[in-house]
Amino acid sequence: PKGCGSSVPELIGGDPGAHPERLRLTSPVALPAPEARILLLTGALDPIVPASQAFALAAAFTPHPVEHRPLSG
């Protein structure tokens, strides 16, 4: 399915392969952790964003409080 990645070239001003540094800088994992509590919801059947990305984001924001709730659908 057409998903979130389809907007990446517009966001970074070109092909991600040609602009790896721009791509890295737009990744939520590269951003400073917010001070507010974070709730990540992931769907087991999500064809666009795998749950592993939520786990990576939660790990990047440690020691800030992150709650991850996987959903069955």
Residue 43 sits at φ, ψ, to 5 deg, of: -100, 135
Residues 4-24, mean pLDDT to the nearest whole number: 87
73 pLDDT tier (thresholds 50, 70, 90): low
Instruction: Give the Cα separation of 42 and 63 in Å (integer).
Output: 21
What is the number of other CB atoms lying within 10 angstroms of the CB of residue 12? 18
By the 8 A CB rule, do 71 and 24 touch?
no
pLDDT over threshold 90, residue 55: no
- Each residue of 42-71: b (16+ CB within 10 Å) or e? beeeeeeeeeebbeebbeebeeeebeeeee
Residue 32, pLDDT score? 83
